[in-house]
Amino acid sequence: MIRHIKTAQAASAGSNDGAVTKAVEALLAKVESGGDKAVRELSAQFDKLDRSSYRLTKSEIDDAINSLTKREREDLDFAQDQVRRFAEAQKASLKDLEIETLPGIVLGHRNVPIQNVGCYVPGGKYPLLASAHMTVLTARVAGCERIITCAPPFKGQISQKIVAAQALAGADEIYCLGGVQAIAAMAYGTETIEPVDMLAGPGNAYVAEAKRLLFGKVGIDLFAGPTETLVIADDSVDGEIVATDLLGQAEHGINSPAVLITNSEKLACDTLDEIKRLLTILPTAEIAGKAWEDFGEIVLCDTIDEMVSEADRVASEHVQVMTRDPDYFLNKMRNYGALFLGARTNVAFGDKVIGTNHTLPTNKAARYTGGLWVGKFLKTCTYQRILTDEASALIGAYSSRLCLMEGFAGHAEQANIRVRRYGGRNIPYATAVDPIDA
Cα separation of 57 and 61, whole Å?
6
Cα separation of 308 and 286, whole Å?
32
- What is the DSSP annotation of 128-168? -THHHIIIIIHHHHHT-SEEEEE---BTTB--HHHHHHHHH
CA-based nearest residue to 103, from 402, 395, 371, 403:
395
Do residues 225 and 362 lie in contact, with contact meaning Cβ atoms separated by under 8 Å?
Answer: yes
Element containing residue 40 per DSSP (H, E)? helix 18-47
- What is the DSSP annotation of 69-137? -HHHHHHHHHHHHHHHHHHHHHHHT---EEEEEETTEEEEEEEEE-SEEEEE---SSS--THHHIIIII
Which neighbouring-strand residues pair with 116? 146
- E runs forming strands in 272-352: 296-300, 318-322, 338-341
Residues in contact with 429: Cβ distance below 8 Å, sequence separation at least 6, in sequence order:
413, 416
Cα separation of 191 and 302, whole Å?
61
Q: One-letter amino acid identity for 50?
A: D
CA-based nearest residue to 316, from 226, 255, 248:
226
Residues in contact with 383: Cβ distance below 8 Å, sequence separation at least 6, in sequence order:
107, 108, 109, 110
Of 133, 252, 318, 358, the active-site residue reads 318
Cα separation of 272 and 332, whole Å?
28
Q: Would residue 318 show up in a list of annotated catalytic residues for this protein?
A: yes
Of 317, 390, 406, 413, the active-site residue reads 317
Half-sphere exposure of 311 (CA within 13 A, CB side): 32
Cα separation of 230 and 293, whole Å?
15
Cα separation of 177 and 296, whole Å?
33
Q: Would residue 240 show up in a list of annotated catalytic residues for this protein?
A: no
Coil, strand or helix: which one is 298? Answer: strand
Cα separation of 47 and 436, whole Å?
73
The maximal CA–CA distance of the chain, rounded, in angstroms, is 88
Active site residues: 317-318
